[in-house]
Amino acid sequence: MSSHSGARGNLFPDKSSNICNGGGSAGSLVKNSSISASRYDTAAPSDKLIAATSNVTPKLAAIPRAYNAIGKIDPFEPLFKEKPLIAKKKINKKRIPRTPLERIDLSQLKLVGIILASSGNRALVEESSGKGYVIKKGTYIGINSGKVVKIKKEKVVVEEEFEDVFGKTKLRQREIKLPKPPGEF
């Protein structure tokens, strides 16, 4: 080995030294390449082994052609999913109030009088401000979609919708009684 080579495993000692030292002319590279080629011939057998084995690529494992996602977790899917509650529950559409009586609670109404007739009984109810309304069987009344079911001699029966503890809509009957005259018990 000559003194120009530097390290023992350096494969191109003259080319790198000429380029770094500024001697990078075309003629000097040609001259040096012939010198370096003669050095490879006289190099030790271990250098030839390194040069021969460095061009060999290692055998890679077989790469699958298509990705199979079955049984694997999607990394972009959220961990906690919000389940829509609307899909499970039935949505009961409440009746939209059409009259002033449907905007007043039954506790704010006072039964003033009842008219019994063969054509159908009627009743007069009064709100807290003093305004009166005539109602008959089938009239919608109260904020809970109440409907007048019966008008009897001394009371009016109203059937209202309400939601129980379990979230089910049920019907209940409430009565509005005619107040007794001041002299009676």
Q: How far apart are CA 164 and CA 142, in angstroms?
A: 18
Structural domains in the chain plus CATH codes: 13-53 (no CATH), 88-177 (2.30.30.830)
**d(Cα 68, Cα 146) in Å, to the nearest integer?**
60
Residues contacting 106, CB < 8 A, separation 6+: 141, 142, 144, 146, 158, 160, 174, 176
Round to whole Å and give the CA distance between 49 and 33.
21
pLDDT digits (tens, 9 = 90+) for 70-126: 888 888 888 887 776 554 445 556 778 788 999 999 999 999 999 999 999 999 999
Structure-model confidence comparison of residues 63 and 22, the more confident one = 63
Residue 34 has, within 13 A of its CA and on its CB side, a CA count of 5
pLDDT in tens, 139-148: 999 998 899 9
Question: What is the per-residue pLDDT for 12?
Answer: 52
Give the Cα separation of 115 and 124 in Å (integer). 8
Write out the two tokens for 37.
């080629």
Q: Is the pTM of this model over 0.75?
A: no
Question: How many whole angstroms separate alpha carbon 146 and alpha carbon 161?
Answer: 7
Give SS3 for 50. Answer: helix
The H or E element containing residue 73 is none
How many helices and strands (H and E) does the chain possess?
A: 4, 7
